[in-house]
Amino acid sequence: MSSETSSVKQKFNALLPLLIISVTCVIVIFIVNLITKDKIEINKEKAALAIISEVLPLEYDNDLFTDSIHLDVPDKINNTGSITVYRARLKNQPVAISLMPVIAKGYSGNISLIVGIRYDGAITGIKVLQHNETEGFGDQVHQDKTDWLQSFYNTSISALAEKKWAIRKDDGEFDQLSGATITSRSIINIIYKTLEYYLENQDKFYEN
C-alpha cells in the first residue's frame, strides 16, 4: 500500500466517527421534527376547536374542524378577501356556522374576530382573536376584559332595524365601550355587515 493511499485511509478513519455522528444527528432531528410537527398541528386543531365551540353553544353532531370550507368574501368582511367557515350540523341538517376571521377596523388597527351565526341569522357568539387597541380603552373589546361582546348574543337583522345597529349616542341599541367610541362603532358595523352578507348568501355557506 502506498504512503498516499495509507494517508487517505487514515484521514477517512479519522473522519468516520464525525460522519456517523452527523448522520445520526440529522436522522434524530428529522424524526423529532416529524413528531413535533404532528403535536403542533394537533394542538392548533384543539385550540381552534375550543374557540369555535365557544361561539357555537348549540347542539350538533358533526366534526366542526373537518366540516369547513374557505370562501371568497368582500373586503368589507375581511380585507384579505377570504374566510374560513366552520359548519355545525345536526342529523345532516344545518344548525349554525362560525366565520374566522372577520376583520373590523379599530382605532389602532385591525380587530380579528370569530363570529358564530345560527342558521336563522342570529348571533350565537363573538370572540376577539387578535387586536392592537389601546390598553385601558379599546382593548376592553376583548372578552377577557369585559363582557361587552355578549350584548350581541341572539341579535339579528330581522329583529333589529339597520338604524338601530349603532351605539346609544347615535340613537342605536348598543352601549359603547368606555372611551372607545371608534372601536365600538367599528365592531357593531362589521357585525351588521357580516349578518347581512350571511343572509344574502346563506345557502353558499352550507354547500358541500
Domain count, the chain: 2
User: Does residue 43 sit in the same domain as residue 73?
Assistant: no
63 occurs within a structural domain: no
Tell me the whole-structure pTM to 2 decimals: 0.77
User: Does residue 94 sit in the same domain as residue 3?
Assistant: no
95 occurs within a structural domain: yes
User: Does residue 83 sit in the same domain as residue 138?
Assistant: yes
User: Does residue 96 sit in the same domain as residue 193?
Assistant: yes
User: Does residue 115 sit in the same domain as residue 48?
Assistant: no
Q: How confident is the model at residue 92, as a pLDDT? A: 92
185 occurs within a structural domain: yes
**Rounded to 5°, angle at Cα 120 from 94 and 44:** 55
Which residue segment(s) compose the domain that 157 sits in? Answer: 68-206
Averaged pLDDT in 10-residue chunks for the chain of 208 residues: 59 66 70 59 61 92 91 92 94 95 92 96 95 84 92 93 93 91 94 96 87
User: Does residue 87 sit in the same domain as residue 1?
Assistant: no
User: Does residue 156 sit in the same domain as residue 79?
Assistant: yes
61 occurs within a structural domain: no
User: Does residue 159 sit in the same domain as residue 76?
Assistant: yes
Output the 3-class SS for the chain: CCHHHHHHHHHHHHHHHHHHHHHHHHHHHHHHHHHHHHHHHHHHHHHHHHHHHHCCCCCCCCCCCCCEEEEECCCCCCCCCEEEEEEEEECCEEEEEEEEEEEEECCCCEEEEEEEEECCCCEEEEEEEECCCCCCCHHHHCCCCCCHHHHHCCCCCCCCCHHHCCEHHHCCCECCCCCCHHHHHHHHHHHHHHHHHHHHCHHHHHCC
116 occurs within a structural domain: yes
User: Does residue 103 sit in the same domain as residue 165?
Assistant: yes
**143/112 Cα distance (integer angstroms):** 13
User: Does residue 124 sit in the same domain as residue 200?
Assistant: yes
Q: Looking at 54, 80, 99, which one is the last position of a domain?
A: 54
60 occurs within a structural domain: no
Q: How confident is the model at residue 7, as a pLDDT? A: 63
User: Does residue 47 sit in the same domain as residue 108?
Assistant: no
35 occurs within a structural domain: yes
User: Does residue 159 sit in the same domain as residue 127?
Assistant: yes
